[in-house]
Amino acid sequence: MEKKKEVKNNTQKVLRLAEVDCPESKQPFGKNAKQFTSAKIFGKQIIFHPVQKDRYGRTVAKIYFDNGKYISEELIKNGLGWWYQKYSKNDNLGDIQSLAKSKKLGLWKDKNPIAPWEWRRKKM
């Protein structure tokens, strides 16, 4: 998922989720990933840990909700995002993705899902 908003002290901050890349909105399951994320964190208190700035200057962060649930992990677990291995050292997320894939959850129902970074490359 590209961007999420965090509300604290009546301020908003745009964040990019760390370690996961969700389908673009026009890709299969793109809207599902956005709805899932919104349902999990909208109106809730979150904790985020900035990891880095991306090439566009956006803050990439690990976002936690509901007493320590990691939103990137939840997306991968439910087949709504790819483990962004290129930018992650968390091999556990790869195991979680393999399990979602074997269960054919979410985007893994498709016979040939296209990773968002490949889809963006083709659209440019």
CA nearest neighbour of 97 among 119, 72, 120, 117: 72
The beta strand positions in the chain, using DSSP E, are 4-8, 11-17, 20-21, 47-53, 59-65, 69-70, 82-83
74 is catalytic: no
- Spot the catalytic one: 6, 19, 55, 58: 58
24 is catalytic: yes
58 is catalytic: yes
Cα 63 to Cα 15, 28, 46, 120: the distances in Å are 9, 24, 7, 24
- Spot the catalytic one: 19, 24, 73, 74: 24
- Spot the catalytic one: 16, 19, 73, 74: 16
- Provide the annotated active-site residues: 16, 24, 58
